[in-house]
Structure 1
Amino acid sequence: MRQSILLLACLLTPLAVRAADQPPIPPDVSGDATAQPEVTITREGGQMVEEYRANGKLYMIKITPKHGLPYYLVDDRGDGKFSRHEGLDSGLRVPRWTLFSF
């Protein structure tokens, strides 16, 4: 009898612990507006200008001319001085050598 009570207590203990340790439900953060950049699109003289802002600060401008490829003006350092980038290429060039030729 004593063993069956001990066995029953061992089997019911995890259920009691699990019921007591329910974590609170996390708040819904899917609707957070600050995670998405604000994009303002304007058309000037046949070209399209897209301004990207985060927390109200302009950090990138994409300019798509009427004829030609789009280019980007990016504020790399956050000081308000924009540098031009063709595509979003980082400019990193990995060295390549010909090791074997058949």
Structure 2
Amino acid sequence: MRLIRCLLLLATVLPVLAYAGGQPPVLEPLPEPPPPPAGMELDPNAEPEVTIIQKGEDTVEEYRINGELYMQKITPAGGKKPYYLLKEDQEGGWSRMDGPNPPLVIPKWVIFNF
């Protein structure tokens, strides 16, 4: 019986002590950031154009910059995990990316073109 009284007292006193000791200081809002320097305006062409297409039950989001398709996000039906297709090279090679780590992309530089 004595143990139950001690536990009950402890259960009522500890939250009060934790609340009293953890008061944060008075916070002030941050000042507004300064405007960007001249010449640093955002280029609207740098924003990707996103086109959403329904293919069967799958949803395909196509990402383009300057009209060039560089990435696709495929979301399968049924709540399955989405995956990405990233363009590897200009010849149309695509690599699949399933997780947070980017896929291994081998450099394919054109040195001479006859």
Q: TM-score range by the shorter chain?
A: 0.5 to 0.7
The answer to whether the 8 A contact 2:48-2:65 is kept is yes
1:60 aligns with 2:91: no
Q: Which has the higher contact order (CA 8 A, sep 6+)?
A: 1
Structure 1 Cα separation of the partners of residues 92 and 77 of structure 2: 26
**Greater radius of gyration (CA):** 1
1:37 aligns with 2:44: no
Q: Give the superposed CA RMSD.
A: 2.2
The answer to whether the 8 A contact 1:70-1:87 is kept is no
Q: Percent identity?
A: 46
Unmatched 5+ stretches in structure 1: 1-24, 93-102
Unmatched 5+ stretches in structure 2: 1-36, 105-114
Structure 1 Cα separation of the partners of residues 101 and 54 of structure 2: 25
* Cα distance, 1:88 vs structure 2: 4.5
- TM-score, length basis structure 1: 0.55
SS in 2 for 1:34: helix
Alignment: residue pair count: 67
